Amino acid sequence: MQQKNRDINLEEMMAAGIHFGHQTQKWNPKMSSYIFTERRGVHILDLTQTARILAETCDLLFNAAAKGKEFLIVGTKHQVADLVASAALRAQCHYVNEKWLGGMLTNWATTETRLRRFQYLQLEESRGGFDRLPKQEAANLKGQLFRLKKCLGGIQYMSDLPDIAIITDQYE
């Protein structure tokens, strides 16, 4: 793996508040090696380890992008939903920012059929096919299109499973 020297500034990380961890009562013992100290009931993370691991992760992602790997960015919390969509569009990769459907990756055959249905409904809407249908049926199809767009809009052009998934807040 080609190592690039990423300029990660510890002062900027401190200013962004990256060093603040969880409350001391809600901590995970597996995180003990990454905790620097405890102050006022909050764990303070070791920024030197964070910077090192962040640089390694950046190198991994840059190398994967140079090889043409496919990325999927997942962030469904309201605070990051818009950021995930804009970052994925800038990076030209797939994203999920509204709702994660169970089995989206593990049951890829079903996801592919839903993607084909989504693309078919988009095509029919753009051709004006909904106008030729009865009102109730057109409304049902538009509702189905809206729900599919909400769940699958960011992966509508994904033809195969992604090589790398970047997940924010995996517990939610």
What are the structure tokens assigned to 39, written together? Answer: 């102050």
Strand order in the sheet with 42-45: 20-23, 42-45, 35-39
Check whether 143 has a pLDDT greater than 70.
yes
Check whether 22 has a pLDDT greater than 80.
no
Check whether 76 has a pLDDT greater than 60.
yes
Specify the higher pLDDT residue, 84 or 19.
84
Beta bridge partners of 49: none
Query: Residue 7: what pLDDT?
Result: 63
Among 45, 85, 74, CA closest to 164: 74
CB–CB of 50/4 below 8 Å? no
Q: How confident is the model at residue 14 (pLDDT cuts 50, 70, 90)?
A: low
Q: What percent of the chain shows pLDDT beyond 90?
A: 40
